[in-house]
Copies of this chain bind each other. A is one copy, B any other.
Amino acid sequence: MNFTSKEQILADQIKKFKRDSGTHSPSNLTLLQYIPELSIKIDACFLSNPYATDLFLTYFEEEIIKAGKFRDLIEFYPSQNKVIARPLAQHLNINVDNIFIGNGAIEIIQAVLHQFVEGKTLLTIPTFSSYYEFAKPGIEIIYNHLNKEDNFRLNVEGFINKAIAEEAKSVIIINPNNPDGGYTSKTAIIHICESLKHLDNIIIDESFIHFAFEDDEYYIMSVANLINTYPNLVVIKSMSKDFGIAGLRAGYGVMAAEKVRKLLKNGYLWNSSGLAEYFFNLYVREDFNLDYETVRKEYIKTTTQFLLKLKKIPDLIVYPSKANFALVELKNDITSEEVYIKLLTAYGINVRDCNDKIGLDGEFLRIASRKDDENKVILNAFKEILKRKFSSTEIK
């Protein structure tokens, strides 16, 4: 692949930076501090609805900044966990005793893994790496491989049979899955819950569920309010992606009341910020929700269009996704690293190079959908890059 000498210098810095950064994408701020010459114009690494960020900021500007209420959010302690959970519970039609508010979903993943999971735990893979990285001693992670030959679809019966045969005590499914966006229907998830009633935990991460849909109404297909039917269910929900507010750190978990009680007894009383509390109170409001539903559906349509166009690019295999991103495989000896670096250095487009993801065999990138105009720039960049692929200059 062709690199200008300037791009080549940046490429070397990026490779060094990636080696130093571990298994999680560093924040853009971190990357830009390390390589100030870089310019990120489009962040397609980041899995978030930009229309929802606009919406949140519109409300925030009006109700907080202009109304002079920002100081209160900064100066004073936010409310305790249970207080923030109460209106959310009403909105979700779930008992407040079943809701735990988290400082981002990641805090809930950590808390649940550390406090409630032990023994054999079946996890689909490839997946969000924290699910195995945060496993403390005493948890034995066993993997249920999703294969590219099956388009990364979860084989539901195979999964249930493996959980039973291995005598797993807990299972973990991300739905839609990250990094491929593969979606398992609500009916199938309920079938899993029904078949694995005897387990300690059925953990369903629904962080991308607002982007999934089963028909043209685009209903949100969460299983969270089945908590009474399946008390071993733990639903983990990030608000970062669908609401475009990753910087706020907001998430919630739905689980047995006994589990929520145990967490709150052990801490987690003031784990929300003033801004996160404002967000939760906003989220449950009817006016905001109507607006949110509009931008959610708009973004799903934008994403669907984007993925359709992405599929038409030669040398790319786009795997089926019902999330706001797609996993693409590069063919013809093109490496994910060279495309990642070319996109970043020549186009200012950041995507996720998946060459560190375990469970992926091949050259993969994860590409997020952004706003319509940004998606067009991404599509054009791919077309240009893959056209130029047979070049003599190669980066090592």
A contacts, CB < 8 Å to B: 24, 26-30, 33, 43, 46, 48, 50, 53, 56-57, 60, 65, 70-80, 83, 103-104, 106-107, 109-110, 114, 130, 133-134, 136, 240, 244-249, 265-277
Given contacts A78-B27, A80-B26, contact A247 B275 (CB under 8 A): yes
Contact of A30 among B75, B79, B267 (CB under 8 A): B79
Report the Cα distance A313→B91, complex, angstroms: 50
Q: Is the CB of A75 within 8 A of B50?
A: yes
Other 13 A-B pairs with CB < 8 A, given A104-B271, A114-B266, A134-B267: A27-B77, A43-B76, A46-B76, A57-B70, A57-B71, A74-B245, A74-B275, A75-B245, A75-B246, A103-B103, A103-B107, A248-B273, A249-B270
* A20 → chain B closest CB, angstroms: 10
Report the Cα distance A287→B268, complex, angstroms: 34
Chain B residues with Cβ below 8 Å from A29 are 72, 76, 78-79, 277
**Closest B residue by C-beta to A71:** B57
* A288 → chain B closest CB, angstroms: 15
**Closest B residue by C-beta to A279:** B74
Contact of A269 among B24, B57, B70, B77 (CB under 8 A): B24
Contact of A75 among B33, B114, B247 (CB under 8 A): B247
Q: Is the CB of B275 within 8 A of A275?
A: yes
* A276 → chain B closest CB, angstroms: 7
Q: Is the CB of A53 within 8 A of B71?
A: yes
Q: Is the CB of B56 within 8 A of A107?
A: no
Given contacts A53-B74, A110-B268, A271-B107, contact A79 B247 (CB under 8 A): no
Q: Is the CB of B46 within 8 A of A74?
A: no
**Closest B residue by C-beta to A244:** B75
Q: Is the CB of B74 within 8 A of A56?
A: yes
Q: Is the CB of A24 within 8 A of B246?
A: no
Q: Is the CB of A134 within 8 A of B76?
A: no
Which of the listed residues A60, A272, A274, A276 has the most CB atoms from chain B within 10 Å of its own CB? A274
Which of the listed residues A24, A26, A71, A72 has the most CB atoms from chain B within 10 Å of its own CB? A71
Contact of A77 among B46, B75, B270 (CB under 8 A): B46
Q: Is the CB of B273 within 8 A of A73?
A: no
Q: Is the CB of A267 within 8 A of B110?
A: yes
Report the Cα distance A277→B33, complex, angstroms: 14
Which of the listed residues A109, A130, A240, A249 has the most CB atoms from chain B within 10 Å of its own CB? A249
**Closest B residue by C-beta to A50:** B75
Given contacts A46-B76, A50-B75, A74-B248, contact A269 B136 (CB under 8 A): no
Report the Cα distance A57→B83, complex, angstroms: 27
**Closest B residue by C-beta to A274:** B247
Chain B residues with Cβ below 8 Å from A71 are 53, 57
